[in-house]
A and B are shown apart, each in its own frame.
Chain A
């Protein structure tokens, strides 16, 4: 079982979705995350163990390699796809409460900004780290963040922006959210942002890449 869990983590890290998937080329024809997960389930391995000792370590390793500049966005996307494939098998266990997520994250690109690839990568990495992610998409107004937070008041908020002009929109959103939900943690990211800016507008932190945010969130649990 231990061996299979390790194989699953490698399949996720390398982005091997299933037996027929073309990536990575050196694992062509070999079983992937989907097959390892179904074998583990057949062997009655607890789904929570599959998630925490098989899937999450794989995603964590690739996220770290990305943050360290060893791999690039494609490797993250491939790994996330493998993770998603394996997750479909765990869905019933999430639904019946046999597997618990770490918590909820609401994420969106702020109003006036339509960039979403960076934000989508953050979603994938956080999902891979065991969080339930509500992606509000792009051009998200402060009202939309608030409405979602009213629905899921225990959530963490993540905001993304790519232009300095839309960073100003972040300030408005952070102020509004903190007024209504002072306890809610708000984290920021995107190319032109800095920690200083996050501090200045009263957010709880800036992270340059999804892995460093994920590490921070897990450390805070």
Chain B
């Protein structure tokens, strides 16, 4: 089983100011935005509060079967629902991943919140973008592994999205490597540190990666759908 952990540098995850403003809801033009100075100051401090850890475990070749559910060594592993399953056809292995910014980041937000809610919100937004970026980098690493094995990858999927119940975080956490022990899954399925993302990517020789779009899913209130509608 391939098991890789990365300590991406904070710098490699830092979003630029315009991305942060767009994430907050603003649209172009963004030059000279009144929050730019505050965002800039905050970006300077991020490194002190971040301990990025991102990694994945790749289940053995041919250990996975997919039909209406995901079977691992012929036992039920995940039931992500029909939307995700339609994208996981021909998958024969899975990469199970986790990325986190560490607990200091949460403490930083908590601390600043008592003094300045606006800056706390800026930090919160930066954190969400950074952990998403860490997953982007992980995805690249997983694709590289797939290439070495002459396999292809599906999109990434996370419990809690596209009808996949967040309860299945429990099964996912069972598979994570031991160096993620310090990331805790609460009985409510909330991960601590808060700025964490978990998920899976399917692999296989005959996998077809379909560009993901919201028509696959019927969740009208999902933020990705709302964002796409705004043209962002």
Contact surface of A with B, Cβ cutoff 8 Å: 22-25, 69, 72-74, 77-78, 80-81, 111-117, 120, 124, 163-166, 169, 191-192, 194
User: What is the 8 Å Cβ interface bit string for chain B, positions 171-186, against chain A (1 contact, 0 not)?
Assistant: 0000000000000001
* Interface flag for B71 (CB, 8 Å): no
A117-B124 contact in complex given A72-B24, A80-B117, C-beta closer than 8 Å: yes
Are B188's CB and A163's CB within 8 A?
A: yes
* Interface pairs (12), CB distance under 8 Å: A24-B34, A25-B34, A72-B24, A72-B25, A73-B25, A78-B118, A112-B188, A114-B192, A116-B113, A165-B188, A169-B188, A194-B221
Contact between chains at A77 and B194 (CB < 8 Å): no
Considering the complex, give the chain B residue whose CB is closest to the CB of A166.
Answer: B188
Docked CA distance A165–B164 (Å): 12
- Asked if B188 contacts A74 (CB within 8 A), the reply is no
B211 within 8 A of A: no
Report A44 CB to chain B, min CB distance, Å: 33
Asked if residues B117 and A163 are in contact (CB atoms below 8 Å), the reply is no
Contacts between chains A and B (CB distance < 8 A), count: 62
5 A-B pairs besides A74-B122, A117-B124 with CB distance below 8 A are: A74-B35, A112-B187, A114-B190, A124-B117, A163-B190
Which residue on B lies nearest to A169, using beta carbons? B188
Q: How far does the Cβ of A135 sit from chain B's closest Cβ, in whole Å?
A: 12
Q: Please, which residues of chain B bring their CB within 8 A of the CB of A69?
A: 25
- Given A72-B26, A78-B118, also A163-B34 (CB < 8 A): no
B147 within 8 A of partner (CB): no
Contact A73–B24 (Cβ < 8 Å) = yes
Chain B, Cβ-Cβ closest to A69: B25
Which single member of B25, B34, B165, B186 contacts A164 (CB below 8 Å)?
A: B165
Closest residue on chain A to residue B125 by CB atoms: A73
Which single residue of chain B is at the shortest CB-CB distance from A116? B113
Rounded to whole Å, the gap between the CB of A68 and the closest CB of chain B is: 12
Q: Would B190 and A112 count as touching, CB distance under 8 A?
A: yes
Residues on B with C-beta less than 8 A from A166 are 188, 190
- Residues on A with C-beta less than 8 A from B120 are 117
In angstroms, Cα B122 to Cα A165, docked, is 27
B216: Cβ under 8 A from any A Cβ: no
